Copies of this chain bind each other. A is one copy, B any other.
Amino acid sequence: MSSASAIYLVEGVLLVAIQEDISDTDILDLQEALSERVVDEAARAVVMDISALEIVDTFVGRILAQLASVSKLLDAQTYVVGMRPAVAMTLVELGMDLPESKTALSLTHALKDLRGESRG
């Protein structure tokens, strides 16, 4: 896997920043690496930062949805943070509304939600 998609563990939460120029192969590797880390670290959540993504196509949209479904099966909640308005619009137009993911404005909001705190 390229270093472009390093996975960090913070408070039992796996953080992944998806890079703008992530290739289809990289994102498949990421899917595999991430699901293994969820089990190895007994992670309670996965936070995917997609703020670097300016556009999204059906392939990336489907992988994002699959990542969330796989994490759910492995008992981890997925948060997608940093989604750009254009990406949100494209996902809706493509009929991909990421049903298994929670979305949060930022990592801070996602971590607050995980701690059960209200948005402040």
Contact = CB atoms under 8 A, between A and B. Distances in A.
Contacts of A36: 85
A88 B42 contact: no
Q: Say how many copies of this protein the assembly contains.
A: 2
Contact of A85 (B38, B66, B104, B119): B38
A97 interface: yes
A85 B67 CA distance: 11
Contacts of A72: 97, 103
A91 B105 CA distance: 30
Chain A interface residue number, banded: 20 to 34
19 contacts: A32-B85, A32-B89, A35-B85, A36-B85, A38-B85, A39-B84, A39-B85, A66-B89, A70-B85, A70-B92, A73-B83, A73-B88, A73-B91, A73-B97, A74-B83, A74-B103, A74-B105, A75-B104, A75-B109
Interface of A: 31-32, 35-36, 38-39, 42, 44, 66, 69-70, 72-75, 80, 83-86, 88-89, 91-93, 97-98, 100, 103-105, 109, 119
